[in-house]
Amino acid sequence: MNFETKKKAIIELIIIILILTDTILLLSTIFYDFPIKIEYSISLFDLLVCIILFIEYINRMRKENYKKSFVKNNWIDIIAMLPDILLNSIFSVIGLGNVTWVVRLLRLIRVGRVLILFRKNIILFTHFIKETHLDKLLTAVVIVVISSSVAFYLLEPINSFIDSIWYVLVTITTLGYGDVIPTTITGKILGIILIVMGILVFSTLTGAISSIYTKRIEEENRKEIDERLDKIEKKIDELLNKKS
């Protein structure tokens, strides 16, 4: 197994996770006002992701023969690399940090960045689903969550259907906060089934991710072997031509 190929696959996976996490955090700041410390921590994480995206962007551009065309076709990615902390600092320095229209503008830019990052996630996610054929598994999970939520709501003396959905989700993800617990035997059996299903789902997901990167590594290795064979063939042809 080629070390460089393996490293590339791991880096790609880390970038996907970082983009997804950053998208969720930025989206949460649009709809919810966090304490200053948490906002600052999110901004620092966003800055880290932007730096990584910038390095990845430069690396991709270096490999392109037509760099102007690359920038022209990928200019929208530059907006995604503008960290919140930088924009806030610029407006604060010029004395516009607390002006209403500036705050609204920054929110709009943040929404724009979320949409761009979300677009990246959708592309990566769609590609992932196609490669792993997980559409059937996801459909099954959605059906199980809905049907189990309805069953738990009917079986257990809980306050609302939202509590039922919450219980099913935290159980199937094997988190189990304990704030909503089953009191009937049927409800407990349902909980056991959900825990087992959650383990199976995440095992399948882990296997699917592993299979993608194993497949990619194999493809890269195949390419490398083909390139080496081409070089050997060329050298053999050159030697034969010299002899003739």
State the CATH number of the domain containing residue 121.
Answer: 1.20.120.350
For 144, the token pair is: 């199980």
Residues 51 and 172 in one domain: no
Last residue of a domain, one of 131, 155, 186: 131
**pLDDT score for 183:** 83
Residues 5 and 36 in one domain: yes
Residues 118 and 162 in one domain: no
Between 63 and 6, name the one with better pLDDT.
63
Q: What would the pLDDT profile of 5-56 be if each residue is shown by its tens digit?
A: 566 667 767 777 777 777 777 777 766 677 888 888 888 888 888 888 888 7
Largest distance between two CA atoms of the chain: 91
Q: What would the pLDDT profile of 170-196 be if each residue is shown by its tens digit?
A: 888 766 666 677 888 888 898 888 888
Residues 88 and 175 in one domain: no
Last residue of a domain, one of 131, 158, 176: 131
**pLDDT score for 4:** 61
Would you place residue 203 in the very low, low, confident or very high pLDDT band (cuts 50, 70, 90)?
Answer: confident
182 in Cβ contact with 191 (< 8 Å): yes
Residues 125 and 217 in one domain: no
Alpha carbons 112 and 154: distance in angstroms, whole number: 42
pTM here is: 0.48
CATH number, domain with residue 160: 1.10.287.70
**pLDDT score for 29:** 74
Indicate whether 110 pLDDT > 70: no
Between 226 and 177, name the one with better pLDDT.
226
For residue 156, the SS3 value is coil
Would you place residue 106 in the very low, low, confident or very high pLDDT band (cuts 50, 70, 90)?
Answer: low
Q: Which domain holds residue 64?
A: 1-131
Residues 35 and 72 in one domain: yes
Would you place residue 138 in the very low, low, confident or very high pLDDT band (cuts 50, 70, 90)?
Answer: confident
H and E: helices and strands count for the chain: 9, 0
Alpha carbons 163 and 187: distance in angstroms, whole number: 14
Alpha carbons 244 and 242: distance in angstroms, whole number: 5
Structural domains in the chain (count) = 2
Alpha carbons 145 and 77: distance in angstroms, whole number: 36
Would you place residue 60 in the very low, low, confident or very high pLDDT band (cuts 50, 70, 90)?
Answer: confident
Residues 137 and 127 in one domain: no
Residues 50 and 110 in one domain: yes
Q: What would the pLDDT profile of 70-103 be if each residue is shown by its tens digit?
A: 777 777 777 777 777 777 777 677 766 555 555 5
Alpha carbons 129 and 104: distance in angstroms, whole number: 36
Indicate whether 121 pLDDT > 60: no
Percent share of the chain, pLDDT over 70 = 70
Percent share of the chain, pLDDT over 90 = 0
Q: What would the pLDDT profile of 211-223 be if each residue is shown by its tens digit?
A: 766 776 677 777 7
Residue type, 113: R
Residues 60 and 171 in one domain: no
Residues 71 and 81 in one domain: yes
6 in Cβ contact with 226 (< 8 Å): no
Residues 41 and 88 in one domain: yes
Residues 73 and 145 in one domain: no
Last residue of a domain, one of 131, 153, 183: 131
